[in-house]
């Protein structure tokens, strides 16, 4: 019942539909008994494979591997014959589909058939006139190489792979670079040493930046997969000279790709080699004009910290961090904030307080909301790393000062900081230092600040003791529940409900008036100076400042 409609869908023009139909047919094939498979499913595959339209023939390519293992010998021969025909089809789209499934099909074939049939098909597809077919043959090479012995590999596969690594089309060379680690594991250490490392050197100095970038991404994996015996010598003599050239490459994507993996070499090469050979490269990259390069180095500092400690880099790190922290692109600033807890842990509390603390506080008043939000979460992570005593002395006073800032957005940032810091700092600091500031801000002239006070009281309520809730929080929430602004009333009502439900001991009156959504007139009426008028969004998304 299910096969006929799926067979029809496997021939339609829309690729996405065909792919889903093939996926379903592959699942259905597993439900057949061997007899039913030959009676119903194999004929369907043959019909698709010999269809008039290329769409049906491309779909057939994905079905051979699921029906082959359970078919009888006679039927297996027919299936292989159909697959051979599709590999030499007149239509490039069909050859592409066959090339993409070649490795998968090879895995279910007998070894003799792989040598006698699949390898010649692989060789032909790897020499196809269309580069889109040739690059897919490289992918199949990984699966085929895993099935063959070293001798067979050297004789049957390596000539084709060498050719692919020097292909005239950069897309094929890119695919070789992209699959390099998998190829390396598949062919083994001997062939890697003799053939793949020279090929890798060529890819690292390829004329196309995309190829160099793909190869640079694989530097660490290549070095990790080398045999431990002799690994250091191979890296130092045959890989490192090419890496040094890429550090000053003209293309920023190449430099960025290298920066994302180069730090990992320090754990492989050890302390002395890292200090002598890698450290100058790290320092050069920390001064690179491209922010992404500097960022990638900073994000992988933990590798170097394990080997040589971070002090060697700290003097060069600071200018790079400051530049990134003040970069004109807000996404770069956002990225460096995310690495700040990692840096803080590695550089230590004294270095952090002296050099980086001011940066973290400056982010709290950034003009982009996403930066202020990330900076708030960053403070919480720093408190978790350095402890509550550090927070009480260093962070909390600076945050609370912002409550008097003339810009209402900065006053709201104080509340956001209190929300996250209260959890990390505990009851005593929250009650004595933070709660008075929140309560004071309940009288703010800007409604957005007042309803965020209600949200903050709801957030920190569970941390406070019963006396503070009864004597200080309760009157303020009741007052906010009678506020003239509908949004303030709404959030005060929510806070009262949540706090009362959580503690049950408190008898909060909940007659603050049923909140209703503000109408268009409310949204458009004048607000305080500089205040955001798009009020409804705050209920869900938080204040958007830019």
Average pLDDT, stretch 74-98? 86
Alpha helices per DSSP H over 263-329: 265-273, 279-286, 291-299, 301-307, 311-325
What's the pLDDT tens digit per position in 347-382?
Answer: 778 878 877 888 888 888 888 889 889 888 888 888
Whether 254 shows a pLDDT value over 70: the answer reads: yes
Residue 8 lies in a domain: no
pLDDT at 546 over 70: no
Q: What is the pLDDT of residue 524?
A: 30
Residues 72 and 79: their CA atoms lie apart, in Å, by 10
Residue 484 counted as domain residue: yes
Q: Is residue 193 part of a domain?
A: no
Residue 54 lies in a domain: no
Say how many C-beta atoms besides its own lie within 10 A of residue 132's C-beta. 15
Instruction: Evaluate whether residue 363 is within a structural domain.
Output: no
Domains of the chain: total: 1
Distance CA 87, CA 291 (A): 46
What integer pLDDT is reported at residue 184 of this predicted model? 85
- Position 65 scores a pLDDT of 86
Is 475 among the domain residues?
yes
Q: How far apart are CA 303 and CA 299, in angstroms?
A: 10
Report the candidate in 444, 457, 545 with the shortest Cα–Cα distance to residue 485: 444
Domain membership of residue 292 (yes or no) is: no
Q: Which domain holds residue 472?
A: 405-546
CB < 8 Å & 24+ apart, contacts of 479-484: 479/442, 480/442, 480/450, 480/451, 480/453, 480/454, 481/512, 481/513, 482/512, 482/513, 483/447, 483/450
Are the beta carbons of 195 and 238 closer than 8 angstroms? no
Instruction: Tell me, yes or no, if the pTM score tops 0.75.
Output: no
Q: Which residue has the higher pLDDT, 438 or 320?
A: 438
For residue 544, the domain's CATH number is 1.25.10.10
Is 542 a domain residue?
yes
């Amino acid at each position: 019942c299910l096969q006929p409609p799926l067979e029809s869908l496997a021939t339609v023009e829309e690729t996405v539909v065909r792919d889903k139909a093939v996926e379903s047919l592959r699942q259905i094939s597993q439900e057949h008994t061997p007899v039913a498979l030959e009676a119903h499913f194999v004929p369907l595959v043959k019909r698709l494979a010999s269809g008039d339209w290329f769409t049906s023939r491309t779909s057939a390519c994905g079905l051979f591997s699921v029906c082959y293992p359970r078919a009888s010998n006679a039927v297996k021969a027919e299936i292989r014959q159909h697959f051979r025909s599709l590999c030499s089809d007149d239509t490039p789209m069909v050859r592409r589909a066959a090339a993409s499934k070649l490795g998968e099909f090879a895995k279910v074939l007998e070894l003799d058939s792989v040598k006698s049939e699949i390898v010649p098909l692989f060789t032909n597809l790897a020499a196809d006139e269309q580069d889109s077919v040739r690059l897919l043959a490289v992918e199949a090479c990984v699966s085929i190489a895993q099935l063959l012995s070293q001798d067979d590999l050297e004789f049957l596969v390596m000539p084709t792979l060498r050719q692919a690594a020097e292909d005239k089309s950069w897309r094929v060379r890119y695919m070789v670079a992209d699959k390099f680690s998998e190829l390396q594991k598949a062919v083994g250490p001997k062939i890697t040493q003799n053939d793949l490392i020279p090929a890798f050197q060529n890819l690292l100095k390829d004329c196309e930046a995309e190829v160099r970038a793909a190869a640079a991404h694989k530097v660490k994996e290549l070095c990790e997969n080398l045999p431990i015996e002799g690994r250091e010598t191979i890296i130092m003599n045959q890989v490192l000279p090419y890496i040094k050239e890429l550090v000053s490459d003209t293309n920023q994507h190449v430099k960025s790709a290298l920066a994302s993996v180069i730090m990992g070499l320090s754990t492989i090469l050890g302390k002395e080699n890292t200090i002598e050979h890698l450290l100058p490269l790290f320092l050069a990259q920390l001064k690179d004009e491209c922010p992404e390069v500097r960022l990638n180095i900073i994000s992988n500092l933990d590798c170097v910290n394990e080997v040589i400690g971070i002090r060697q880099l700290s003097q060069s790190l600071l200018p790079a961090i400051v530049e990134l922290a003040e970069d004109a692109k807000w996404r770069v600033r956002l990225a460096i904030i995310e690495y700040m807890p990692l840096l803080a842990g590695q550089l230590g509390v004294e270095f952090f307080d002296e050099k980086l603390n001011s940066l973290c506080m400056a982010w709290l008043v950034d003009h982009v909301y996403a930066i202020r939000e990330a900076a708030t979460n960053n403070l919480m992570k720093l408190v978790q790393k350095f402890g509550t005593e550090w927070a009480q002395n260093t962070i909390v006073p600076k945050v609370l000062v912002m409550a008097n800032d003339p810009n209402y957005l900065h006053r709201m940032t104080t509340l956001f900081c209190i929300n996250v810091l209260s959890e990390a700092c505990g009851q005593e600091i929250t009650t004595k230092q933070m709660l008075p500031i929140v309560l004071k801000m309940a009288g703010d002239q800007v409604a957005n600040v007042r309803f965020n006070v209600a949200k903050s009281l709801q957030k920190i309520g569970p941390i406070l003791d019963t006396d503070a809730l009864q004597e200080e929080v309760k009157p303020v929430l009741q007052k906010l529940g009678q506020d003239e602004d509908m949004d303030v009333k709404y959030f005060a009502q929510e806070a009262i409900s949540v706090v009362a439900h959580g503690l049950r001991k408190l008898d909060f009156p909940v007659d603050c008036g049923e909140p209703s959504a503000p109408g268009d007139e409310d949204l458009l009426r004048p607000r305080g100076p500089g205040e955001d008028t798009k009020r409804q969004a705050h209920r869900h998304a938080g204040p958007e400042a830019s």
